[in-house]
Amino acid sequence: MSEHHSTYVPSTGIERWLDARLPIVRLMHDSAVSYPVPRNLNYFWTFGGILMFVLIAQIVTGIVLVMHYTPHTSMAFDSIEGIMRDVNWGWLMRYMHANGASMFFVAVYIHIARGLYYGSYKAPREVLWILGVIIFLVMMATAFMGYVLPWGQMSFWGATVITNLFSAFPVIGEPIVTWLWGGYSVDNPTLNRFFSLHYLLPFVLLGIVVLHVWALHHVGQNNPTGVEVKDYAKDTVPFTPFATVKDLYAMVCFMIFFAWFVFYQPNFLGHADNYIPADPLKTPAHIVPEWYFLPFYGILRAIPDKLGGVLAMFASIGVLAFLPWLDTSKVKSGAYRPIFKICFWVLIIVTILLGYTGSQPTDKPVLTLGDRTVLDMVGFAQILTVIYFAYFLVALPLLGLFEKTKPVPASIADSVLGAK
Amino acid sequence: MADHSSSETNRRDFLFLATGAAGAVAGASAVWPLINQMWPDASTIAAGAPVEVDLAPIGEGKAITLKWRGKPIFVRHRTKAEIESAKADDSKITIDPEPDSKRVKSFNGKLQEPWIIVYGNCTHLGCVPTGFSGDYNGWYCPCHGSHYDNAGRIRKGPAPKNLFIPDYAFLSASKVKIG
């Protein structure tokens, strides 16, 4: 977008005075008013704005909750119940914050899937994409630590299972876990440091989001055709009012969805066991992470070897960072790639099924022949894990070589108005 | 900095390197306390001092769970039949091979075979297994399906190791000191 020049004209004396000293109004104007967006963006492009809204909502409700929360193993659980019963509007703040985490992941998964389908990770958007992968990882760490704070059964055992993942590494594994815990088990020191980091990481997230948006505004948005902007006058419209209004409309729709959970099903996405105070001597019979971690948990459990499982789980997210170089196709948008389109939907279905396997007991039969179990949850998850990785490591590199793509429009304007 | 075209090493190069090295050492020293503070503190270590456990109340075929260093410890009093079946399986242990005799300790030179004392955390990801259950009537971990036998040896499932044995010693035939 190097051709895009600032169109800001300070109209009053004060604006001219400020513009010569700190051109902040110019920055806002250029990035949120006159910034050119492709004219063919669909509603999948509104999730960036929605995510920004959810992040701010999480920070605001989080700051309020901290005013009433006590980070100590003997008081954490009770202070949460105090927020629910005694604090004015505490129930609303907590339900918004807890469901807000789920909404954050709903929006981010749609946002990531959008990028996967329309090839938004391809040149020149590699850095933009990798920053996105880092945001996703920091989000996961933040959500995990936040879930530990109420100090319920799932909090405690979730923390135990996840920190124990690091014990899989030979030699350094055990010391790392002791260091993470600050003790011989998950206990008060662990709760305190998780609380500290849970407060810090959202601001780190905000910093990386600024870089993410900066990179976005430098290279410009991708669009459903995957064709780059060629003529600003024909291919783009100004951010305000076009994108602003569309983003706001989508945001309001998303807020209705969010509000439905907060007001009608506030505990649907949570786990009943977390309303039992943490007990280090008793593991819940069926321990599962929050829904947004389930596909990765499914991969972890699919591998019978401990270290192998941990590595596969990290690899399933890490592989995303290499996408720009794994996808060899010259055509960016999945709309013009018939075979890619099938592979993409297979990936989506496989990821959802992996989440399902992660939510079920390991020895539950999937396929039975008479009395004999032919396939149990672990076996099923193994098949799905192979397909998941095959998408990234086999399908994407090879499709670029063999796939016969459909003709791509000459320009964004052509795709909207029809070629002349 | 160097606007002279001389390529010879001079005093300024030395000063530059020495300052850089000193800065790096100072930086690393400043970071060290920030990393080190995360290890268990003195009160945590003190609270993890050894404990003595009286075995007399634990009848044959029974087990207790006690909490030490924030973790459960299983103390199981095995029956004759259980000991025999565990010994008979010595050659069938494939995941983490260990004979039954390595799972118990001795007092006055005599193996205390009835007593199995292990950490009550699955070696997979740390859940607490359920006693007297699983395919081998030892422990079964509900989290990811690991089966242990009555000597705490992993027989089936994702756990890579047998249940860990804490440091302990018999003070008498019916008393142990853990830690």
Tell me which of B4, B77, B124, B144 is the catalytic residue.
B144
Q: What confidence tier does A288 reach under pLDDT thresholds 50, 70, 90?
A: confident
User: Any idea which residue has 């509000």 for tokens?
Assistant: A259
pLDDT digits (tens, 9 = 90+) for A175-226: 999 999 999 999 999 999 999 999 999 999 999 999 999 999 999 999 999 9
pLDDT digits (tens, 9 = 90+) for B69-120: 989 999 999 999 999 999 999 988 889 999 999 999 999 888 999 999 999 9
B4 is catalytic: no
Give contacts of B38 with chain A, Cβ < 8 Å. 179-180, 182, 193
The confidence score (pLDDT) of residue B4 equals 54
The confidence score (pLDDT) of residue A2 equals 45
Please give the mean pLDDT across all residues of chain B.
91
Q: What whole-number distance in Å separates Cα of residue A293 and Cα of residue A296?
A: 6
**Minimum-distance CB partner of A362 among B67, B70, B144:** B144
Q: How far is A300 from chain B (nearest CA, A)?
A: 10
- Could you tell me which residue, B3 or B163, shows the higher pLDDT? B163
Whether B163 and B156 have beta carbons less than 8 Å apart is answered as no
DSSP 8-state class, residue A360: S
User: B interface mutation test: which of A154, A184, A194 has the most B CBs within 10 A?
Assistant: A184
Give contacts of B125 with chain A, Cβ < 8 Å. 160-161, 164-165
The confidence score (pLDDT) of residue B6 equals 60
Is the CB of A161 less than 8 angstroms away from the CB of B67? no
The confidence score (pLDDT) of residue A220 equals 94
Chain center to CA of A129: 12
Whether A39 and A225 have beta carbons less than 8 Å apart is answered as no
Q: Is the pLDDT reported for residue A245 higher than 80?
A: yes
Q: What domains sit in chain A, N to C, each tagged with a CATH number?
A: 33-417 (1.20.810.10)
Helices (H), A236-273: 244-264
The whole-model pTM stands at 0.90
pLDDT digits (tens, 9 = 90+) for B127-150: 899 999 999 999 998 878 899 999
Q: How far is A75 from chain B (nearest CA, A)?
A: 17
Could you state, in order of their start, the residue ranges of all structural domains in chain B? Answer: 1-39, 44-178
Q: Does A240 touch chain B (CB under 8 A)?
A: no
Q: Which among A388, A390, A403 is positioned nearest to A333, based on CA atoms?
A: A403
Q: How far is B63 from chain A (nearest CA, A)?
A: 14
Is the CB of A283 less than 8 angstroms away from the CB of B142? yes
Q: What confidence tier does A6 reach under pLDDT thresholds 50, 70, 90?
A: confident
Average pLDDT over residues A376-388: 94
- How many contacts (CB atoms, under 8 Å) link A and B? 86
Give contacts of B160 with chain A, Cβ < 8 Å. 305-307
Q: How many CB atoms lie within 10 A of CB A65?
A: 21
Q: How many CB atoms lie within 10 A of CB A399?
A: 19
Q: Does A72 touch chain B (CB under 8 A)?
A: no
Using DSSP, state whether A178 is helix, strand or coil: helix
The confidence score (pLDDT) of residue A419 equals 65
- CATH number 1.10.150.20 is the correct assignment for the domain at B44-178: no
Q: What whole-number distance in Å separates Cα of residue A51 and Cα of residue B80?
A: 63
Position B41, amino acid: D
Q: How many CB atoms lie within 10 A of CB A138?
A: 17
Whether A205 and A97 have beta carbons less than 8 Å apart is answered as no
The confidence score (pLDDT) of residue A101 equals 97
User: A interface mutation test: which of B144, B161, B167 has the most A CBs within 10 A?
Assistant: B144
